[in-house]
Structure 1
């Protein structure tokens, strides 16, 4: 049986095959949380789930937002909110539903 090293993100439990990927994901989640908190403090009344979605959308696409802030607003047409899905996510979702 082969042994495979995995790194787990502390914030959401996702598993990665490289430390670099795990660290990048953790940094993205940290940025998303900071964005969500800033929005919540300045725009009252937004649902918690929506705040999380907004934070992750901006954090996941930070490079596109940076270009937009520098005057290239058309870059926002390329936004991608698709979250990577792996077998662990599917299992976690199934166990939460049941």
Structure 2
């Protein structure tokens, strides 16, 4: 019998992702915190976004925070190839708890 240790990221009572390492779970949880903060900030934007659009946009920005930071510091946006677009949470050690719930950092 094998013993497996899994780290589960839970938000609002809902399992978001399961990871094999604490480091990956903590990084994903931190990214969800950033997405929540960005979502609150986007509510103040002078454009109308429904909740799903705002959640999707804030998740995208949080997921690509390195590129966003680069752009905010005056760098040009770099073309993303197929490999660069994949979120860090898609590593082999992670298993998806639900693709729809994962995209929303409610």
TM-score, scaled relative to structure 1: 0.76
Q: 1:3 aligned to 2:12?
A: no
Q: Pick 1 or 2: higher relative contact order, CA cutoff 8 A, min separation 6.
A: 2
Deviation at 1:86, TM superposition (A): 3.6
Bigger strand fraction: 2
What are the ranges of 5 or more consecutive residues in structure 1 without an aligned counterpart? 94-98
Bigger helix fraction: 1
Larger Cα-atom Rg: 1
Kindly report which structure 2 residues correspond to 1:83-98, keeping only aligned pairs within 5 A, or say none: 84=90, 86=95, 88-89=97-98
* Runs of 4+ deviating beyond 6 Å: none
TM-score, scaled relative to structure 2: 0.71
